[in-house]
Structure 1
């Protein structure tokens, strides 16, 4: 859905957002939903020209995790932050990190899984617990009855929750709807927010960014307190303290090469923003990535970077994580594949537990602009909505409604986009038999048979099927890459896909202004599975120095699709990882074939058209009996970095001045209402 079709019924900008008091502002919406469900609304049906009573129901909400707590009434902070696990949430308070971490993913594995017994790979304990049970509507209603009187308003002081209230802060106003308690899925999480949080965690940890990395001094002190992964503990040499480098972080040379690689990547026109603007080669820093940039990084760039710089087991886990989100965000979804993804995500999370410290598995919060309402996203959204509404009535100037899309095929002339043909024998034959043939020959076929004009036109760019194509020479001074093409193979080529780059765009002109467009390409050698192409479970990489079919460089533009290449960090030489993608506004709907019966000449009824996005083969996550992370996680090739001893406690992890820290005794069973520097309380705005 696009912005101009959104309807924002109520947005309150300012230093104080509604937070938990959002129910007060949702009351008009609930009244309308009740009217839709109980009485219905008279609606006119244009097809039957009759009026009927329209009934509607609210299926679910879509929001980020902090807003989940505002709408559902279950606090997404503290000891019991998971709304699905409810009272069975597995959390651990990190003393020095001053926050809760949420691990224990082994309980979602099969009961006889070998990882449940391998305590040295996880937290030095075996885990034979069963998965959290699903709470039914009756149990949820019983829990909601335990909530006391909730007073809305910023002036009221928030009361401390009792143990019986668990993490409930209120009974959500949505439970006023008669059907709301019976829904199994009431709230959905926005995947773009999840991808940004995960991408930020991984990227800043890989880059070892000061103040943003999840692997810091406090996380090492927590590891020492928890008593496992001793190779990552702080090392004391008298008054000097050093911190070993971890295998999941990059050294200085690797960070420089990574920033150089990231700034040199070129994407197709309109695919994403210019990520190189977010990379500083001089300071070796990455900042300013938007949500869609993190979406591209997690799915496209992280698997390549992890495979090139990190250890094979760590790189495989991050590659599988990116593949999981790539499959989850596909345009078309298969129910069977979703079931496989549900199983795979548990294995991926267990692999990440073997690698990253506990501080990696926390709940991220968002920094809000509370200084000026004019600078908030809400205020900007109101301005955009007002301008969009006004632009609907401006007919004489270009607006977002009258402006053509960026890569639209505008002013298309009549073209001939058929199959491959040879005119040497076909042209004389069709000219000889056209007058004597009983059936009529179409004008397109006759124009094709007459052959093209001897003069052809060549171009350096064109737009076909909503995608912009450039020649390779045109891209030398550009920040976009639009010269990559892929031709899907068939049975004649053993389903082998052909990859190449465009050298020239040729226009063949036929009679009556008909056109045929050809791409003259350099085809990469995909026939050599060792020196020309490498195919694994997650990526396809081609050697861009080896070409193939030099005597057949042409392909019809209608037969080619666009792809782009990213330099492969895993291989030496000029290797590129193939990246296929589908246009967001163009759907590949197959034509409805006309099948004529031999006897009655009646057309058969074809199957319903289905949107079938070309997708790669999804390889399930491998989980065998071998140790996934069998070696230690420190880097012996890099000297440990020195740490200021004034920031460190004594070797046993006890604080010199314990008044500034929160210990486990301060965290009560009612979970997570202790206010501290690193912990959020329920009365804070989300």
Structure 2
């Protein structure tokens, strides 16, 4: 039975915690003779990696012990499950057999109805002996008849888990061998042909009577019996409809009358259908949909992840500081509305939806846009919430072109499933309580860049009403020479008594008496949707050119409003801070360095100033039919441009902090190109010094204020009072820039920062609502493309393989996945140095280019200070 674990929640410096850790290590490594390794139960490893005693001790000091691990059943302590206790005594690959039984036992229990024990039906515990074997007749008889389809497959897998790999093999069973082989294939990128060759070699090398599959297809079938699969849904080539429900048996689109099938595709390996002539027919367009419900259920199948799904309510610190979406006003507002229903059970899942298009080929001369839709569970704590192994692929929308407004057609299966999860829920097994419960799920918001914002929300982000927050009250100005709209008028966001509201000469020669626009509520949006006719989906429809006469910018009613709670959310779609910051940084760099095509201070911009009769000192001069431009305060001389480029060229960043900026700087041409989004993030926030000494104060002050604004928004901890202050200061910053920069500079990206602070007050920290982690995930998906003729199929198969291994890694201690791989420098930090202190790592002499240097006295003092303040062993010295 579990002992008293109060010490686990104490400070790691306390004597109780040190005594408790010693008790645990003694039990884990002295319980069986000759034991040298054991599972590490720290918050990072979660009983998934075998380590030696010193390594486990150091990990526990650094990361702390998993708070949900109160019964040390994997380390020799008695538990109710004998198979688990036996598995903790095992070592090496033999532990895989116990892990297989544990995994399958959990899967079977998750498919049982809640009342199976009271109705007299056989449960998994009754069907299985204590040693994990299936009783006679159960695999083919009563259990298979009574269990559902999923449970039937799990019982078949459990039978395979008992088969010896070959007669006399005591190390591996059939299932453990297949899982480990598939892990090697996926982790090291082994091709299908290579895996087939390896299987053929094994079948010839192993003794007679072995049960090794002779094809990769059989291996994949066994893996997919774990419940990890996806559906293929045919779509109209023009994105009009999905061939499902009432359209499932149609051969032609009911809207555009296009054929569902390719003309000649007998040798294709995509979606297959047999017609009356016996030939195979292949769909012209296929949506790959990954059901959400079983993936959410798997989060509750292990004790570790199941306990973390309640973290937002049980373990979160509520001190008024926002560190997680659960601290936000939007989350609390949702809880208040549905306090007696959805919010009454902390295990109900809150989700975020992210989507963006990318080119799966990695080459820019091929135009192709593939659109994955990703779901992020927000119940998890901050250190797991944004980890890729805990994300779910919902669907892959096929290319070649972006779906545009027709994305609603492809979202139909997901919306139907979300509605079922809201109204009905799903019967789910909770490994922590060892009981089933009714799990529900809700979508909190979407995460996307600004063009995708228009696709998902239905509000066009182009034209004169491009701002979704200002909506019909967007302050727009058409530039006669620049041939585009600009968005200024930020004085109306100032306080009513601000002196700049009455200043004419520095702005547009007019006073400002308007109030700031109020964002539309969900009910307002629904009312506006009812006022215009909904357009049909498909790429063949003709767009009406009546934008100038419209009082709104709606292009459609979003399918997300079919969700019953969507109109009650405070935030439905998030502005992407990452792309806003990058576009602003590019505009500043292009203008300061006067780069062709990127500068906002051009002849046309000066002519627009002359047209609006503002800032006469910047009007162009005409001499002999040629224009000459006066220097503005932000214009740099040739030497100043070289000074700026030389500074950027010489910047050195810490390892892993940013990319090499040197490759982006052209010293001769005084140009900066090829900056990634994170490069712009670093330049704009961490290096504001690059303009302080070469530009006048009236430009530097608002520039630094804008830089500090983004730095504050990106903070991991947000104070609502500080955000309220930012909401008051950002209008002044933008007004200062209005008095300096030409109107052409103020595109929609320059306007959107006015709304970011208020949105952060509603949604919480930006890290959970921006595209940085999503863009990294898209890079991962791009790596799955092995067959460039079918990129979506390659991504789907690669994702399923990775998902399977991630799920199995929670049961198998020796399977390497992204979930349990060490950090980049974790191995070096874990090695003990010659001095015997944890703060020192072992020198890797295999790396070339290292040198030995003698340290000065000042550097030695800094090292001593660092050791005393950071070394774990210093705690015992002070005591």
TM-score where L is the length of structure 1: 0.59
- Residue 341 of structure 1 deviates from its aligned partner by 1.4
The aligned residue for residue 577 of structure 2 is: 191
Question: Aligned equivalents of 2:501 and 2:664: distance in 1?
Answer: 42
Question: Of 132, 142, 159, which aligns to 2:544?
Answer: 159
Task: Tell me, yes or no, if structure 1 residue 557 matches structure 2 residue 859.
Answer: no
Question: What SS is found at the alignment partner of 2:738?
Answer: helix
What's 1:334 paired with?
A: 719
Match in the other structure for 1:405: 823
Please report how far the alpha carbon of residue 256 of structure 1 lies from its aligned counterpart in structure 2 after TM superposition.
0.7
Q: How far off is 1:240 after superposition?
A: 2.7
Does residue 313 of structure 2 align to residue 313 of structure 1? no
For the residue of structure 2 that corresponds to 1:201, the secondary structure is helix
Distance in 2 (CA, whole Å) between partners of 1:83 and 1:6 is 28
1:152-206 deviation line (CA, Å, top 9, x unaligned): 1011111234746611111110111111112221110121111111111111111
Partners of 2:854 and 2:703 lie apart in 1 by 36
Q: Summarize the Cα distance change of 1:68–1:279 in structure 2 as closer, same or farther, 3 Å threshold.
A: same
Structure 1 residue 23 displacement after superposition: 0.4
Instruction: Give the match's secondary structure for 1:66.
Output: helix
Counterparts of 2:467 and 2:458 in 1: how far apart (Å)?
12
Give the whole-Å Cα distance in 2 for the aligned partners of 1:233 and 1:123. 15
List aligned pairs for 1:506-517, cutoff 5 A: none
Q: 2:486: which partner in 1?
A: 101
Partners of 1:93 and 1:100 within 8 A in 2: yes
Gaps of 5+ in 2: 1-385, 751-777, 786-794
Shift of 1:10: 2.7
Following superposition, the deviation at residue 361 of structure 1 comes to 1.1
- Tell me, in whole angstroms, the C-alpha distance in 2 between the residues paired with 1:273 and 1:463: 25
Using the alignment, how far apart are the partners of 1:116 and 1:46 within structure 2?
61
Q: Quick one: distance in 1 between partners of 2:471 and 2:587? A: 25
- Structure 1's 165 and 347: CA in aligned 2 closer, same or farther, altered over 3 A? closer
| Alpha-carbon separation, structure 2, partners of 1:125 and 1:61 | 39
Instruction: Establish whether residue 225 from structure 1 lines up as the match of residue 611 from structure 2.
Output: yes
The aligned runs of 1:236-247 (5 Å cut-off) are 236-247=622-633
Q: State whether structure 2 residue 677 is matched by structure 1 residue 291.
A: yes
Separation in 1, partners of 2:445, 2:862: 54
- Return the alpha-carbon distance in structure 2 between the equivalents of residues 217 and 361 of structure 1: 16
Q: Report whether the alignment pairs 1:350 with 2:768.
A: no
Which of 24, 35, 40 is 2:420 aligned to? 35
Partner of 2:18: none
Check the 8 A contact 2:481/2:607 in 1, yes or no. yes
Q: Tell me the alpha carbon deviations over residues 16-54 of structure 1, each in whole angstroms, 9 at most, x when there is no partner.
A: 210011100111111011111111111222222221111
Mean CA deviation greater in 33-42 or 239-248: 239-248
- Residue aligning to 1:67: 452
Aligned counterparts of 1:355 and 1:54: Cα–Cα separation in 2:
56
Q: Could you say what secondary structure the match of 2:609 adopts?
A: helix
Where 2:622 maps in the other structure, the secondary structure is strand
Root mean square deviation, CA, Å: 3.5
Q: In the superposition, relative to structure 1, how do residues 247 and 51 fare at CA in structure 2: closer, same or farther (>3 Å)?
A: same
Alignment correspondent of 2:75: none
Q: Which residue is 1:82 aligned to?
A: 467
In structure 1, the gaps of 5 or more residues are 366-375, 416-454, 478-501, 505-519, 524-549, 562-587, 592-686
Corresponding position of 1:201: 587
User: Secondary structure of the equivalent of 2:554?
Assistant: coil
C-alpha contact (below 8 Å) 1:143/1:165 kept by paired residues: no
CA distance in structure 2 between the aligned counterparts of 1:273 and 1:223, rounded to whole angstroms: 39
Q: Contact conserved, 1:407 with 1:463, CA < 8 A, in 2?
A: no
1:137-176 to 2 correspondences below 5 Å: 137-161=522-546, 163=549, 166-176=552-562
Q: Distance in 2 between matches of 1:458 and 1:405?
A: 20
1:214 to 577, 589, 600: 600
By percentage of residues, which structure has more helix?
Answer: 2
Relative to the length of structure 2, the TM-score reads 0.46
Deviations 1:572-597 (A, max 9, x none): xxxxxxxxxxxxxxxx9xx9xxxxxx
Greater shift in the superposed pair: 126-135 or 326-335: 126-135
Q: Alignment partner of 1:292: what SS? A: helix
- SS of 1:9's partner is strand
Q: Partners of 1:137 and 1:551 in 2: how far apart?
A: 60
For 2:617 and 2:864, how far apart are their aligned partners in 1?
Answer: 58
The answer to whether the Cα contact below 8 Å between 2:830 and 2:841 also exists between their aligned partners in 1 is: no
Matched residue count:
440
Distance 1:251 1:151, change over 3 A: same
> Aligned ranges for residues 474-513 of structure 1 at < 5 Å?
504=855
Structure 2 residue aligned with 1:380: 782
Write the deviation string for residues 357-384 of structure 1: whole angstroms up to 9, x where unpaired.
111111369xxxxxxxxxx979726537
